[in-house]
Amino acid sequence: MLNIPDSFFRKILSETNTTLPKKEEYAVGMIFLPSESGLANLAISIIEEQVKSAGVSVLCWRDVPTDSSVIGKTAKETMPSIKQLFLTKKEELSKSINFERKLYILRRSIEKALQERNLGMDKCYVVSLSSRTIVYKGLLLATQLAEFYTDLSNKEMKISLALVHQRYSTNTFPTWALAQPFRFLAHNGEINTIRGNIIHMNARQDSFESELLSKKEIKLLLPIIGEGQSDSACLDNAMELLNLAGRSLPHSIMMLIPEAWGGKYHIGNDLKGFFEYHAGLMEPWDGPAAVAYSNGKSIGAILDRNGLRPAKYTITKDNLMVLASETGVLDIPPEDVLQKGQLRPGQIIYVDLEEKRVLFNNELKNLIARRQPYRRWVTENKIMLRGLFESVDSTYSDPEKLLQQQKLFGYTREEIERIIRVMAETGHEPIGSMGNDAALPILSKKPQLLFAYFKQLFAQVTNPAIDPIREKILMSLTTFIGNQQNLLSELPQSARLLKSKSPIFTDKDIIHIKNSKIPSFKAATLPLEFPGNGKKKALKTAIKNLILSAERKVKEGFPVLILSDKNIKKGMSPIPSLLAVSAVNQHLGKCGLRASTGLIIETAEAREVMHYALLLGYGATAVNPYLAFETICTLNTSDTQKNDPIKAMENYVKAIEKGLLKIMSKMGISTLRSYRAAQIFEAVGLKDSFINKFFTGTASRIGGIGLQEISEEIQQRFLISQEKASSAQLLETRGEYHYRTTGEKHLWTPETITNLQQAVRKNDKNLYKKYADYINNQAEHLCTLRGLFKFKKTTPVQLEDVEPASEIAKRFVTGAMSFGSISKEAHEALAIAMNRIGGMSNSGEGGEDARRFIPLKNGDSKCSAIKQIASGRFGVTAEYLANCKELQIKISQGAKPGEGGQLPGHKVNKTIAKVRYSTPGVTLISPPPHHDIYSIEDLAQLIYDLKNANPEARISVKLVSETGVGTVAAGVAKGYADMILISGQDGGTGAAPLTSIKHTGLPWELGLAETQQTLVLNDLRKLVRIQVDGQLKTGRDAIIAAMLGAEEFGFATTALVTLGCVMMRKCHSNTCPVGVATQDPELRKRFDGKPEYIINFFMMLAEEIREYLAELGFTKLNDIIGRSDLLKKNQAIAYWKSKNLDFSKIFAKVGEEKSPVRYNPTSRRKVDCSYNHKIVEKAKNAIENKEKYEEKISIANCNRTVGTELSYHVVKKYGAAGLPDDTINFTFSGSAGQSFAAFLAKGITFRLIGEANDYVAKGLSGGKIIIKPPKKVQFTASENAIAGNVILYGATEGEVYINGQVGERFAIRNSGAKAVVEGVGDHCCEYMTGGRIVVLGRTGINFAAGMSGGIAYVYDKKGKFDEYCNLEMVDLEPVLEKNDIAELKEMIKNHYEYTQSPKAAEILKNWKAYLPKFVKVFPMEYRKVLGKMLLEDQKIARQQPLSL
Amino acid sequence: MKPRAFIDIKRKDPEYRQKEERIKDFQEVEKNLSEEQICQQASRCMDCGIPFCHGSGCPLENLIPEWNELVYRKEWKKALEILLSTNNFPEFTSRICPAACETACTAGLHEDAVTIRQIEKNLIEKGFAENYIIPCPPKERTGKTIAVVGSGPAGLTVADQLNKKGHKVIVFEKNLEIGGLLRYGIPDFKLDKNIISRRIDLMEQEGIVFERNVNIGTDISAEFLLKRYDAVCLACGAEKPRDLPIPRRDLKNIHFAMNFLKQQNKEVTGEPIQEKKISATGKKVIVIGGGDTGSDCVGTAIRQRAESVIQLEIMPEPPETRAPGTPWPQWPYQKRTSSSHKEGCVRLWNIMSKNFEGKNNSITKLNAVKVKWQTNEHGLPDKMKEIPNSDLSFDTDLILLAMGFTGPDIKKLTKALNLKTDESGKIIIDKSAMTSANGVFTTGDISSGPSLVVRAMADGRKVAENIHNFISE
Ligand SMILES: Cc1cc2nc3c(=O)[nH]c(=O)nc-3n(C[C@H](O)[C@H](O)[C@H](O)COP(=O)(O)OP(=O)(O)OC[C@H]3O[C@@H](n4cnc5c(N)ncnc54)[C@H](O)[C@@H]3O)c2cc1C
Ligand SMILES: Cc1cc2nc3c(=O)[nH]c(=O)nc-3n(C[C@H](O)[C@H](O)[C@H](O)COP(=O)(O)O)c2cc1C
Ligand code: SF4
Ligand code: SF4
Ligand code: F3S
């Protein structure tokens, strides 16, 4: 996007003797017309017709000169014909009305006219139409832009600002119209809450009024957000509306992407007032984002509140400013640089070309925050809802009625004991272990609540999950109720809102609202009941009446609706709360009333975290779970304990709130306001007509049940609640989490466990057959989707002709299971067994003892063939990466996708601490996202890093099955991954919240089919192998997986069962009675598993596969990969809920007949590592015979992951010990690309004169790095950014000296490296478990969050450092002890010697004056472990802060 | 539930009463753990992801982990509710059940199993003591009536279940007292008969009618029952004892165990004995048969102050610990030592009786021979051979035949109701345990052959459900 090149156009048009009017008196439209001339002329005539009626006149059309030889095949096929339309203002238009706004309305009328003649966006598209800006864009790589649009390489083209976008988009299949930049912005990021934002925008449209736009004009603009656009295009529509309706660009973007303003986030009161006022008008467009915006007159950029996409700028002395996601994009000689820096999370920057000034964050924000007295408006109009439990409600008395209610709403004993009681007693969600082997709700014979048919979605690769505990400061559950005013105006009464800290309302809150006298908060209650008789008609009419009465009530002036299933009349049944909420929310949205209504649901059905997430996710404003509260009050009337019901209810609400924050953080969403109605769910087993009517936009890929079956299930619960017989005085036990004979069907049963264990111990084929038969023929006990699959009839072949079992066994892997979640003995048995049969075992995320890399004398090997790289990076060193056949990037795990993990201190014994490079007793926290993967480009970067860290290993990426995983897989395949693992939601885990195990992710059958189809359609399938895992147990499972596209098969839980696991499901409490999942030495002694058992299992499994192959008529497993056409639904299993399940989408074969459906080994692609090979060549004999070596070499932004391959060769030869210090010395000059010196081995020293990008010293393994600016620069080094974000991520050893400031998350998850730096951004030292960090300058917020080990020394000039520090796990002390002072001084001395840093010199010179200003950040756990903690201090149990 | 309790706390079993003291009377031999000890033992339960005690141990599928947790938390009332939801008479099973739950318990894999039976006993007795167990007759009656023939554990369970569903139940018992083998088979020192009467009073207060001393087939005709009741359930047990047809079987003082035991039980409760008294006092007693019945004969004989007691078993001596052929969680083939065995008797294995010898028509000697067993692929004994010239003889003046039971003696009944039987005389029943006569069901040992009290009760619950469905159609 450029500002109008007035001189260029004037010259070009003069050649065809047309003269342009004065600047900004004419406008230029860039238009993509249909390539087919007939249609193009039709489009032109429509456009000209609209222009005439809009008070402007056509000056001329110009064919935009293009050179299509430069662009790719698909781009050429869909290339439009590109023309420019010059318009001039008619007389009467000239002065009064703003020309840009006129053009905006004109463009919308053109788009609508074109749409009517079905020349929609895909055929004809107005790229830009403005008197100030023009956009040259297309399906082009950045390098092709200037060559394709010859205008751009024309010397005459003089412009003052340019906004360029280059991205390999994975969101939607790329098209010319959806390429970026758009009309007002370019967006590098994702909007996780897009569906919610669109629904809210559509709901507000009817209440738009503005002095600047007439009613008719507004009507023309609607709908604001176009159909079928990418989320960036929608953001552009919203930005255009806000800006052209009277708000400045920064003001508009600050509304759409607000900073975190709640709680103890220290921003100015006016700014907090601004954000709180606007929170009532617009919910955040939440997600990782770096947005550049311009209106042709000025240009700026903003980052999202988490700063998950980088933005670095350089300003030169001759007033050139470059802002990009990497530094060194343009080669600017260092001496010309006036200033360098980067945007911090939530920060904004604005270049006003007219004033010729750069407005930085604070100045700009105060300017905008003080345009109106927002702060005063808010304090005057806001009403706080206190949300407290005053007393136990008197009605909780009658146990008879309580039991009847609990049965009516499907309560079970298990739910009360395992979930509600845990939350009421501990204030935390219950934790469980092992996967979910129970029947899928759609296949279960037990009556299910409507909630059970939905699964949570979560962020994978393209947008990272957030840590809801250590980065809680950025998150908010604040809820507003009341009349959201007209978005286009700024009036005090827009702040007239009821505000509550939490979406969970107590019974008291409901009473306050019901009797509120305040007119704008009058509440009407609508009952949710209907005469249940198991027939669909009654429920259907009940819902119809409900939504009509909702509409009537709102129109009668009740802005708050309370949908309630309390005190249902005798004989009536409750309407499912989720169905009611979604139906009412959608209906009010259609009739434009939703924005102004508070929708509160008072329901007995909600009690688990997932229930609240669903109700809020489909539009509820707040939830009052009155029956859950009543159940909690009855919990403590047991014979003995007398705990206080109020405390129990408060604990319960706290646990639910933590659970909600976790669910939102899994999707990378920070605020409840944007999570609401964003429908971040997928349905499994609900038919399309039902979804389209009540849950429009929710994916549901296999059809299933509708209103009829749902009313039948309600009827079943109704009948149970009516039972009088004395034997019916108990709730059912249900057996969903722990096996019960009368409960939910499971695949792991006493028979299957013992049959399998005896079969492998005795290598007994028919015992294996008995085990396999129960799992394969699920007619009596349907559990998995594949239980309903059947193979088509084919002509069999002889069993002898089928490939041998030993060949098939090579396709088996045992799933990643960290040493730490399972015992040393179990972990090693897996490795030995898999290495023997040519399969692969997986180290999991806990690192591995280096001694296991050495093969045993008898030829066996304990070395895990697959080394996993997870977000914790525990034990991920150069040596770890060098010793394996496959490196697996764990994006997420089936049982807890989008969540981090925690190994509590008391479990970290000496051996685990050694392998994870930490200290015993220190808690090890792994963050939800990889902090070096915030986008698909970052993942491609990490893949490149790992290819350097081990050139022989193949790189795999582990994803979890959900809707959209196919698109992510396509991005991963494009990023040069060699294998993609699709993990089912039911996979195992060492420890995970029960709600995650049960309610997140989808069965692998869906994810695998989607991945296979997407890769085949994008012609990427031949580039990668696909693996699948998740409750795989038999040969038939593997055969079905192969047909759906999998080349390899993973087994984790089943392998543990063969080693003795009896499904105790107590892995998380370290008390495994069979020594499989425990570190307790006494229990480990009981481990009697042997590698032979695993081998027997896999051989019998392979034999079963051979039998199936023979029956199907294939001699090679490879031949059935991708042959989903061989599958069909087994109609014989007549079960009422599964009869209209439709698997056609799953079995569909896509692409042409010849398009490859499986991995084709000839096409393994090579990544370009020429620069790094050169480095290795140079240092060849230094490595061979440990000779000292010096070298000076220049470096550029495109030289990435420099030094990693060198480290590979060093550790391959010398192991972790590496070379003596400073053996190999390289001095680079220039700006280094991403991941500079990643995994640098001991003995290598890198000096960088210039600057570095992100991920410097990632996984540092002993090397030394010095970064300093060139001598000639004028700017003061300690004030300017010299390196990017996420430095020293997961470093284990080594030293770093940086003469300058760095970005966010410095030394995150560092477990041993030492570093000195002169200024850091937010979240410094997060999750640190060891090492020493010295900060000589500024720090950002949330310093030391989750820091359980190591020490940081921070120079606290203003003495306000503790405000920026997350004090949950650390103490702050002055540096008083002798060895601390010596250590600090020595590090600063080193810093000075290596970088000649003026600041270091200054500090050393007057050491006495500076030392008192240093603060020592000392983690409590680390102190305890180092024995420094005074004994008494240790004894005080660390409780939660006392809540009054 | 304390996670690591199963290792930190050792299993504690209540001992039996002192040997010298207990052989002097017929009081129950097993002592009880204190409430505190029981709560501690209950904390050893790990609340398993798959509770094998419930899933493959207890035939009643008791919800053991749930009431273990509640007992540990001293929430006795709730624990009892859950126990009674699957077990009609925990006071019976917790005294005489061999506790397949404990041999299937996961804690027993490497450590000692949880003391499930003890916890069950304390829980039910606490229920009685605290009056949590009060008669609660069904609120509504369905108007349907069912006749149950036989008041053993199977018959009582069917009666209790159908009564709870609101049907009217009448139980016919040919003996003078109610309880079947609970009353007349199992000795008092294993199950105090007041325990049975306590339960029968309760059942009567809940509306169940018991007709004692009525032999269906002789006193009342079976066809009569069929006409007057909506359904009939035969729970007559499998009383026919297995005989030992070897030379001189006709000698006096050779008796079936049941006759000996039945008399002793009657004597204890003061019920008159019609036939001649069989007494072991001062006698050299030989019990042939190593099962529960045999061990009960040993205990009874010792209490009658027999001069000496020898128990012979034809099978080989089982191993001390679980045989590899019956891996966890199966019921282990393993040597079991009952309280009676410890009261002074000689146990011999691999002995096959050949013939009796006697003086003036009364037994004086038993001649037997040693046998050798072959084991099958699971290591369990399956074929035997006599060892040549290994004969040995025993002086004796009382032989008790405790070699199990062959099946029910119900010819009269089957003829009266013309029930189809198979060639071995067993009544043929369909999937819902209904005989060829419409509305006539069988339950307990009569259909399964000699078994256990817990199996009889489990079968009773299933058959009661089938009867309920049958009469509600
Ligand atoms: C000596 C001995 C010791 C045992 N010890 C144990 C032990 O320790 N643990 C254990 O679990 N099991 C034990 N058992 C087995 C257990 O007692 C039986 O499996 C169980 O009692 C079977 O119950 P049931 O109701 O089927 O039959 P029974 O208990 O045999 O009851 C059948 C009842 O039906 C009555 N009856 C039969 N025909 C008629 C008719 N025509 N009219 C009216 N009434 C009729 C009989 O009089 C009897 O009362 C033992 C058995 C014996 C013999
Ligand atoms: C005890 C245990 C620990 C696990 N640890 C990890 C882990 O560290 N990293 C990971 O990616 N997956 C982990 N998993 C998940 C497995 O790698 C695998 O994806 C899943 O268990 C496959 O499903 P299955 O167990 O039903 O075969 C673990 C699973 C179990 C049972
Ligand atoms: S009835 Fe027998 S098997 Fe069942 S729990 Fe009681 S003792 Fe154990
Ligand atoms: S098997 Fe043993 S430890 Fe497990 S639930 Fe049953 S009694 Fe408790
Ligand atoms: S479920 Fe876990 S606790 Fe042990 S028995 Fe299996 S590994």
Q: ipTM of this model?
A: 0.95
Give the pLDDT confidence score for residue B332 in this predicted structure: 95
A564 Cβ contact partners less than 8 Å away, ≥ 6 residues apart:
A525, A526, A527, A528, A601, A602, A603
**A869 ligand 2 Cβ < 6 A:** no
Q: Categorize the per-residue pLDDT at B385 as very low, low, confident or very high, splitting at 50, 70 and 90.
A: very high
The answer, yes or no, to whether residue B316 has pLDDT greater than 80, is yes
- Which tokens sit at A967? 């698109």
Q: Identify which of A1193, A530, A1106, A1089 has the alpha carbon closest to the alpha carbon of residue A828.
A: A1089
The pLDDT value given to residue B407: 84
Q: What is the pLDDT of residues A740-794, one digit of tens each?
A: 999 999 999 999 999 999 999 999 999 999 999 999 999 889 999 999 999 999 9
B471 lines ligand 1 (CB under 6 A): no
Q: Which residues contact A1138 (CB under 8 A, 6 or more apart)?
A: A442, A443, A704, A782, A788
Find, among A595, A138, A632, the residue nearest to A406 by Cα: A632
User: If pLDDT is split at 50, 70 and 90, which confidence band does A652 have?
Assistant: very high
Give the position of tokens 């002898």: A800
CB contact under 8 A, B49 and A1064: yes
CB contact under 8 A, B74 and A639: yes
Number of Cα atoms under 13 Å in the Cβ half of residue A49? 12
Burial class of residue B61, CB neighbours in 10 A (0-12, 13-18, 19+): buried
- Are B329 and A754 a contacting pair at CB < 8 A? yes
pLDDT digits (tens, 9 = 90+) for B136-166: 899 889 999 999 999 999 999 999 999 999 9
| Chain segment A230-251, per-residue pLDDT in tens | 889 999 999 999 998 889 999 9
Rounded-to-integer distance, Cα B306 and Cα B267, Å: 17
CB of A740 within 8 Å of a chain B CB? The answer is yes
Binding-face residues of B in 27-46 toward A, CB within 8 A: 46
Mean pLDDT of chain A: 90
pLDDT at A907: 77
From A88-97, A187-196, A432-441, the region with the lowest mean pLDDT = A88-97
pLDDT tier for residue B416 given thresholds of 50, 70 and 90 = confident
Ligand 1 center to A311 CA (angstroms)? 85
Q: How far apart are CA A186 and CA A735, in angstroms?
A: 52
Instruction: Report which residue type is found at A406.
Output: Q
Say which residue the tokens 């196919």 belong to: A966
Radius of gyration of chain B (CA): 23
The number of the ligand 3 atom at minimal distance from the alpha carbon of B87 is 1
Share of chain B above pLDDT 70, in %: 100
Nearest to A730 among B77, B82, B136 (CB): B82
The two tokens of residue A1172 are 């790094």
Distance from Cα B116 to the centre of ligand 3, integer Å = 7
pLDDT above 90: residue A498: no
For residue B45, give the ligand nearest its CA.
4
The verdict on a CB contact (< 8 Å) between A1071 and B50 is no
Q: What is the pLDDT of residues A135-156, one digit of tens each?
A: 999 888 888 888 999 999 888 8
Strand ranges in A77-212 using DSSP code E only, listed in sequence order? 81-89, 125-130, 133-134, 185-189
User: Is A400's Cβ below 8 Å from some Cβ in B?
Assistant: no
CB spacing of A640 vs B73 below 8 angstroms = yes
pLDDT in tens, A1296-1348: 999 999 999 999 999 999 999 999 999 999 999 999 999 999 999 999 999 99
The whole-number average pLDDT for the span A821-832 is 95
Please tell me the predicted confidence (pLDDT) of residue A1162: 72
Instruction: Give dist(CA B122, CA B40) in Å, integer.
Output: 13
A1057 lines ligand 5 (CB under 6 A): no
Most B-contacting residue of A425, A747, A1057, A1064 (CB-CB within 10 A), to test interface: A1064
Candidate from A730, A753, A1069 with C-beta closest to B3: A1069
Q: Which of A723-732, A1256-1265, B415-424 has the highest mean pLDDT?
A: A1256-1265
User: Mean pLDDT throughout A566-576?
Assistant: 92
pLDDT at A1443 > cutoff 70: no
Q: What is the DSSP string of A820-858?
A: TTB-HHHHHHHHHHHHHHT-B-B-GGG---GGGGSPPTT
B185 CB under 6 A from ligand 1? yes
Tokens 């000076």 locate to: A1192
Among the partner residues B6, B61, B165, nearest to A741 by beta-carbon distance = B61
Tell whether A634 lies on the interface with B, counting CB pairs under 8 A.
Answer: no
Q: Is the CB of A499 under 6 A from ligand 2?
A: no
Instruction: Give the dihedral sign, CA A20/A22/A23/A27.
Output: negative
Quick one: pLDDT at residue A1168? 83
Q: Give residue A1334 CA to ligand 1 midpoint distance, Å.
A: 83
Phi, then psi, of A443 in degrees rounded to 5: -105, -5
Residue that the structure tokens 């540092």 belong to: A1260
Eight-state DSSP code of residue B387: P
Shortest distance between the Cα of B377 and any Cα of chain A, in A, equals 12
User: Chain A window 431-460: which residues touch B at a Cβ cutoff of 8 Å?
Assistant: 434
How does residue A726 score in pLDDT terms, banded at 50, 70 and 90?
A: low
- Residue A1257 token pair: 């010293």
CB B427 within 8 A of CB B437: no
* A1074 to B165: CB separation less than 8 angstroms, yes or no: no
In the predicted structure, residue A394 carries a pLDDT above the cut 70? no
**What is the rounded distance in angstroms from the CA atom of residue A683 to the CA atom of residue A699?**
6
pLDDT (mean) for B192-199: 96
Q: Which pLDDT score, from 0 to 100, does residue B409 have?
A: 81
Residue A593 is predicted with a pLDDT of 82
Q: In which band, very low, low, confident or very high, does the pLDDT at A833 lie, cut at 50, 70 and 90? A: very high
Amino acid A1385: pLDDT: 96
| Local structure of A84: helix, strand or coil | strand
Inform me whether the pLDDT recorded for A690 exceeds 90. Answer: yes
Q: From A652, A654, A650, A676, select the one nearest A664 (Cα to Cα).
A: A676
Contacts A417 to B, Cβ<8 Å: 66, 69
Q: Is the CB of A1077 under 6 A from ligand 5?
A: yes
Mind listing the pLDDT tens digit for each residue in A1242-1255?
Answer: 999 999 999 999 99
In this structure, which amino acid lies at residue B129? A
Rounded to the nearest angstrom, the distance between the alpha carbon of A739 and the centre of ligand 4 is 12
Which residues, 6 or more positions from A889, have their beta carbon under 8 angstroms from its beta carbon? Answer: A869, A930, A933, A939, A942, A943, A946, A955, A956, A957, A958, A977
Chosen for mutation from A416, A727, A1069 (greatest number of chain B CBs closer than 10 Å) is A727
Cis ω before A223 (30° cut-off from 0): yes
**Closest-lying ligand 1 atom to the alpha carbon of residue B186:** 3
Number of Cβ pairs < 8 A linking chain A and chain B? 107
**Which ligand gives the minimal distance to the CA of B218?**
1
Predicted confidence at residue A515, as pLDDT, reads 87
Gap between the Cα atoms of B112 and A1069, Å rounded: 20
Distance between CA atoms of residues A309 and A345, nearest Å: 9
Mean pLDDT to the nearest integer, A1179-1192? 92
Confidence of residue A92 (pLDDT cuts 50, 70, 90): low
Q: What is the pLDDT of residue A1271?
A: 87
Confidence of residue A94 (pLDDT cuts 50, 70, 90): low
Preferred mutation among B63, B208, B328 to probe A, highest tally of A CBs within 10 A: B63
Contact B140 A724 (CB under 8 A): yes
**CA A34 – CA A1310 distance, rounded (Å):** 55
**pLDDT at site A395:** 54
Please check the confidence at residue A169 and state whether its pLDDT lies above 60. Answer: no
Is A740's CB within 8 Å of B136's CB? no
Inform me whether the pLDDT recorded for A172 exceeds 50: no
Is the Cβ of B75 closer than 8 Å to some Cβ of chain A? yes
CA distance A455 to A666: 13
Q: Is A613 helix (H, G, I), strand (E, B) or coil?
A: helix
Question: Which pLDDT does position A727 carry in this prediction?
Answer: 65
Q: Is A1081 helix (H, G, I), strand (E, B) or coil?
A: helix
Q: Does A1084 touch chain B (CB under 8 A)?
A: no
Residue percentage of chain A with pLDDT more than 90: 66
Helix, strand, or coil (residue A310):
coil
Q: Is the minimum CB–CB distance between B77 and chain A shorter than 8 Å? A: yes
